[in-house]
């Protein structure tokens, strides 16, 4: 069994701004730089053969460049906060990409995702943090924004069965970074 999800990576300048934001709450488990991401579709645990089928379906999805804008801060969990996140400005291109990943999951027999897609980047897991402290953080940083960036690929990540799941491992990229070897590349050959 393997636990998988697809995501967009966070560009360096935006990630550095997220890292600078990560302070001021005792008991928060801040997400490491390499684990910051924007989840497109969490697939969950699956047998290796289903993962192979999913990989084949994901490889067929065209990757169209898109722009990601990070803005605002929020908290999941209500009166018992579980996570802090930075919001992502919704866009038609991001929604379309996520819908294509949802459709790929259904084509390989996975159950539909019951949650509505709410693009975000989790910056901390909260355990034993009072709601007032979490919401105070949100109020202090609600005007947060980072420069827009354009991810160059989608990543298929695997995670551990634990709270937060990290560290994550990149299993595949779309488009495939290894599609062309160095010998195949030429100035006339598209990257």
| DSSP single-letter state for residue 33 | G
Closest CA to 151 of 119, 117, 181, 103: 119
- Between CA 66 and CA 55, with CA 85 as vertex, the angle to 5 degrees is 50
The percentage of residues in the chain with a pLDDT greater than 90, rounded to a whole number, is 82
- The one catalytic residue in 120, 128, 141, 189 is 120
3-state DSSP helix/strand/coil percent for the chain, to nearest 5? 25, 30, 45
Check residue 138 and give its pLDDT. 96
**What is the pTM for the complete model shown?**
0.87
pLDDT tens, position by position, 31-80: 999 999 999 999 999 999 999 999 999 999 999 989 999 999 999 999 99
- Provide mean pLDDT across the span 13-29: 95
CA–CA dist 30, 44 (Å, integer): 23
Ramachandran region, residue 92 (left: φ > 0; alpha: ψ -120 to 50; beta: rest): alpha
120 is catalytic: yes
Query: What CA–CA distance (Å, rounded) separates 27 from 151?
Result: 31
Between 162 and 149, residue with greater pLDDT:
149
pLDDT, tens digit (0-9, with 9 covering 90-100), for 82-113: 999 999 999 999 999 999 999 999 999 999 99
Give the DSSP H/E element, type plus range, for residue 56. Answer: helix 48-59
Pick the CATH number of 2-174 from 3.40.190.10, 3.30.390.10, 3.90.1140.10, 3.30.930.10: 3.90.1140.10
DSSP assigned state of 188: T
Specify whether 141 is catalytic.
no
Scanning the structure block, which residue is given the tokens 């299993």?
A: 171
**What per-residue string of b and e applies to 145-181 under the rule 16 or more CB within 10 Å gives b?**
ebeebebeebbbbebeeeebbbebeeebbbeeeeeee
State residue 179's pLDDT score: 43
CB 38 within 8 A of CB 7: yes
Considering the candidates 37, 101, 141, 189, report the single residue annotated as catalytic: 37
Here the tokens at position 178 are 């290894």
Question: Which H or E run includes 70?
Answer: strand 70-76
Q: For residue 133, what pLDDT band results from cuts at 50, 70 and 90?
A: very high
């Amino acid at each position: 069994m393997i636990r998988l999800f697809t995501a967009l990576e966070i560009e360096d300048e935006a990630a550095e701004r997220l890292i600078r934001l990560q302070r001021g709450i005792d008991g928060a488990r801040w997400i490491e730089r390499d684990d910051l991401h924007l989840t497109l579709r969490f697939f969950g645990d699956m047998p290796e053969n289903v993962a192979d089928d999913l990989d084949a379906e994901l490889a067929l999805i065209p990757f169209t460049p898109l722009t990601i804008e990070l803005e605002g801060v929020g908290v999941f969990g209500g009166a018992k906060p579980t996570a802090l996140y930075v919001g992502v400005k919704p866009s038609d291109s991001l929604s379309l990409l996520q819908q294509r990943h949802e459709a790929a999951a259904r084509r390989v027999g996975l159950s539909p995702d019951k949650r509505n897609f709410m693009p975000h980047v989790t910056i901390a897991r909260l355990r034993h943090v009072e709601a007032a402290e979490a919401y105070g953080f949100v109020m202090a940083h609600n005007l947060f924004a980072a420069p827009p960036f354009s991810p160059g690929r989608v990543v298929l990540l695997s995670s551990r069965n634990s709270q937060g799941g990290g560290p994550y491992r990149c299993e595949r990229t779309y488009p495939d970074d290894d599609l062309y070897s160095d010998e195949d590349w030429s100035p006339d050959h598209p990257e």
